[in-house]
Amino acid sequence: MLRLTLDMDDVLANTHEKLVNIVLSDFSTTLNKEDFEKKGLRELLHPKQLSRLHKIMDTPGFFADIEVKEGAIETVSKLSSYYNIFVATACMEFPTSFNDKFAWLRKHFPFIPWTNIVFCGYKSIIHSDYLIDDHVRNLHAFDGQGILFTAPHNLRETAYKRVSTWSDVSELFLHIV
């Protein structure tokens, strides 16, 4: 069975949306929701705002209640009949997120065995046939075939095959098998 590895933030989980909602409701900003659909947070926010956001992300509970991306559960469930599904999420930057992320995955994706969950820093350590990720730096470090999941911070990237929704993922990977 081919191995398909999925990133968590902004692939399975709508982390960007939660961050944008926090910025719009709690930060003093003239930016609006549409601005955040066109560019990444790093491009739009001041360093002090980014640092404030970083602290919020490093608070226990932040990753516990993030929304699942539309169609992710159904598609991953379907794909798990044809692929050996792994989840690889970089959470060493936020050590407080371990428990929240693990609980989140067990809750929303109980059909992915715990043996197939990986918490790592660099994705270069992942040995898999495919990796779906929203960060070009992760795909670049990865040895197999990388697929870019569309996010505001990667709209101008052209080096990787791109998917924008879980319906795209379904079509691409059910077509391969």
Q: Which residues are catalytic?
A: 7, 9
Which helix or strand (DSSP H or E) is residue 108 part of?
helix 98-108
Phi-psi region of 157 (alpha: psi -120 to 50; beta: other; left: phi over 0): beta
Residue 149 Cβ vs its own copies, minimum distance, rounded to whole Å: 19
Report d(CA 61, CA 95) in Å as an integer.
Answer: 12
11 vs 88, beta carbon nearer its own copies: 88
Question: Does residue 161 interact with its own copies by CB under 8 A?
Answer: no
20 vs 105, beta carbon nearer its own copies: 105
The b-or-e profile of 133-157 (16+ CB within 10 A means b, else e) is bbbbebbebbebbbbbbebbbbeee
Which of 29, 39, 52, 102: binder of its own copies (CB under 8 A)? 102
Question: Does residue 136 interact with its own copies by CB under 8 A?
Answer: no
46 vs 140, beta carbon nearer its own copies: 140
Per DSSP bridges, beta strands 84-90 and 130-133 are unpaired
Report d(CA 15, CA 168) in Å as an integer.
Answer: 19
Which of 46, 55, 78, 127: binder of its own copies (CB under 8 A)? 127
Which residue ranges make up the site for its own copies (CB under 8 A)? 3, 5, 86, 88, 92-93, 95-96, 98-99, 102-103, 113-122, 124-128, 143
